[in-house]
Structure 1
């Protein structure tokens, strides 16, 4: 309580100084102020994100106190905040000579160096800052960890966060940051551990329950995720995050009726949230209530007309209802907004299988395989589409392109082997089957079901029997 009271009084002092300073500016009477008072005004502006006012104050302070190192340090801080890292570094290099025992000089220089991509030098400065600010090393380590996390340097950030917690074990909030960093590093078990440790100390913290629940959801541990979100909602009834992620968890568990209830409450609280509308629509679609699904998807379109996803989902519902013209219209609208989503193109191909010409189907599959050249399923579907065309020129050219992108795709070699056996090129057919078998022996059964007549070719039948004996 004492620390909070001191913080309050300190903030009040800063606010009072700012009011006094702004009154002087308004009246145009700039009286002399102590360096410490200027510092407090600058810090207050910086804390409030009023960087332009902070800069003006620094300029005036340096006019009155040209040799004040603390004001120069605030200027360096401002330059870092303004992302003027080269200028900040130039000033901080000077300050490092003039004030070599000030931990903040090296902390700020480390931040500037990080943003300039000079990682090793930055870490060296951070460690110097820690050694100089011994009494504040926990707070300094925490600040460094945060900055490294923002910079995406998660392994380094974790080292400093662990140090921050070791220095201040009573500051359990550090555990939440550690948990997020562990997640970024894919160390999910460690993240679970620190979240549980935190919740032992703070069992009613909704943020921690939310973090824990989302992690369980990501790990596909749905029962535990559901339990975490239910705890969250027990602490804070109708918490939007709890409702949303409980709904998502129930969807993953295929409990769509229960998920509907969560999302209905969620969208009543967040009536403009497009994700909520979409998820509620998906729940209705999964339970066969296509009319309601369409209503929610169309509301999402009204709310966010540039978002391609609702158009795509509307197209899917129309395709389920065999309303192919409507499905094509909305699928095209989705593609107008995102021309590179392969799911959109595949749905259009599916629609054209029912309504379009063979040439339209080929055009879509040609686009799709160019867009996602490493997807063997798309290539196989494209090749099967071309398989029955007169002549094999288009088929062979497409197969050649597919193998260039996927030289180890078993399904492509099985298909090529079938074609070669049919052409009477038995040695090539056997070579392709052997190669396909070496990549994935299990896929041969699918091809035998798809092309049962291949077993009527004695050479092919013998080759398959020999493979299965192996």
Structure 2
């Protein structure tokens, strides 16, 4: 309370109060109340005693004491304000509001009282009325930072985010280096994070940190922003800054762990989470995260044991289902397929309709050499999640791999009818048609691949296969189209060996042997795969044979034969070249 009293007990009591020596302060103020001091001094003393009770959380005693103070000074707005605050702290909002209105009636041009009234209305959920009260405060003091900030908070509560942002910015401008600016910048950072405008979020959170470098929340939130922007080193630095402020909350340690993991620093990521003692505390979420980290680190056995721990703590929960499914994944990775199958079945005993687990069960059956059971599992997965193409595609792939080409063809046709933009399926369908000699259908499928996305790996392969198919045609127009298609493949991947092989073959068929040799040499530079290199040597040998340079032909065909000794075509062509070279030598 504002006062000019020189009463020594009041002066000493105030000193004790501000030092938070409340017991001594109360003793001094009680001396005033018990004395024959003026009513104004007794009102001051009782107000301070009421404030002490309010600070201590004894709101009822605070209320009773402020009421006593009013008996000595009934029209004092400061006492009424403090009484209203005590009612508010006690969550007696109706009395808090009516008392604050009495204080405002006495001191109607005091913006602080109008702000406090707005706060009470905010607590009552009367947000439009709260805004009106803050607006009245701003009519008196247009640049009052607290009124601007509280108005922003209220707009945020009503869902009017744009108005909230406007007032947060005004509040920060009104108090550019103070606590309100720090809070406003922090709120703006959170708003822009929610909008995924990470550049703006970074800007405001950085400004908040500049005002208070030791505030952990802003460092944490900036770390989250950097994680979203995949700037993991910066994220790690911010999480560490939050941690250095003495905060060890679970979400901070999780953020720190995720930053380490994103940098593939798995040991440090694991060490951070283990500080939470998840096993001792039965924190299943953290145990699952540890299991995932060990899995990513490649320590499958430890990952397995952590997942197993979850099934001990929660044997029939959703967490257990996920754990069993992941245990199945680990055993499948370890080629222990029967065990993988058993764990997938345990997961399905908790949720028999989980499509993902049914799909993985099908994969395990496939790996275990049980194709019929694999197909059954894939069909179940497709039944429970008909919008997911993976199970149907897996059936088609299985038939293809097993050599059941007609069955595979039927399945791929079903897949592309349901998911016409599934590029992988369209490409494989094209390959099936090509292998069955149905080139017209193959070309249609490959062109659909390119229409879906003309600039990726599938498109490149489609261009190559179109080029190969058209290169075998006798029509010159189709030959030209073949070259164009292969050139498009080379635009995607300039050193694509298969495209170069096909280009060289076209040049060979056109009797442009020197050009063909030049292209096949590019294949040798582009690839280190034995089969492709052998084919390039083979084709160079054929070119030299066609040029009647039999010695060179034999040299290259010999290299081809050494790399691919089981290739019958290479063997026969080498034999022919050797005979031609021997004949040439005999004639000399």
Indicate the TM-score class for this superposition, using the shorter chain for normalisation.
0.7 to 0.9
Alpha-carbon distance between aligned partners in 2 of 1:228 and 1:118, rounded to the nearest angstrom: 36
| Shift, 1:118, TM fit | 7.4
The aligned counterpart of 2:385 is: 304
Structure 2 CA distance, aligned partners of 1:93 and 1:324? 66
Which residue is 1:63 aligned to? 132
Q: How far is 1:318 from its partner?
A: 4.0
Q: Residues 360 and 333 of structure 1: is their aligned pair in 2 closer, same or farther, counting only changes over 3 Å?
A: same
1:408 aligns with 2:495: yes
Match of 1:95 among 171, 187, 197: 171
- Give the distance between the partners of 1:60 and 1:294, measured in 2 at CA: 65
1:358-386 deviations in Å (ceiling 9; x for gaps): 32122223333554544354444444444
CA shift in 2, pair 1:17/1:448, >3 Å = farther
Corresponding residue of 2:219: 141
- Relative to structure 1, is the Cα distance of residues 63 and 285 closer, same or farther in structure 2, using a 3 angstrom cutoff? same
Q: Secondary structure at the match of 2:386?
A: coil
Report the alpha carbon displacement of residue 188 of structure 1 after superposing the two structures with TM: 0.6
Please give the alpha-carbon distance, in whole angstroms, between the structure 2 residues aligned to 1:227 and 1:357.
Answer: 51
Matched with 1:366 is 447
CA deviation profile, 1:301-329 (whole Å, cap 9, x unmatched)? 22122222222222234445665554334
Segment drifting more, 421-430 vs 444-453:
444-453
Structure with higher Rg: it is 2
> Aligned residue for 1:426?
513
Q: Is the counterpart of residue 107 in structure 1 residue 176 in structure 2?
A: no
CA distance in 2, matches of 1:308, 1:444: 37
Structure 1 stretch 305-314 or stretch 373-382: which is displaced more?
Answer: 373-382
Unpaired segments ≥5 residues, structure 2: 1-86, 98-113, 138-146, 561-588
Contact 2:118–2:131 (8 Å) recurs in 1: no
* Correspondent of 2:533 among 444, 451, 455: 444
Q: Is 1:284 matched up with 2:365?
A: yes
Distance 1:453 1:283 in 2: 46
What CA distance in whole angstroms lies between the structure 1 residues aligned with 2:371 and 2:334? 20
Q: Which residue of the other structure, out of 195, 211, 220, is the alignment partner of 2:270?
A: 195
Shift of 1:98: 3.6
Deviation at 1:107, TM superposition (A): 0.7
Give the Cα separation in 2 of the matches to 1:397 and 1:233.
59
Give the TM-score normalised by structure 2.
0.61
Work out whether 1:126 is the aligned partner of 2:205: yes
SS in 2 for 1:188: coil
Higher relative CO (Cα under 8 Å, sequence separation at least 6) belongs to: 1
Q: Give the equivalent residue in structure 1 for 2:552.
A: 462
- Equivalence for 1:266: 347
Structure 2 residue 149 is the aligned partner of structure 1 residue 74: no
For 1:214 and 1:197, how far apart are their aligned partners in 2?
Answer: 14
Deviations 1:83-109 (A, max 9, x none): 84x433321121113444222111112
Q: Tell whether the 8 Å contact from 1:141 to 1:164 is kept in structure 2 after alignment.
A: yes
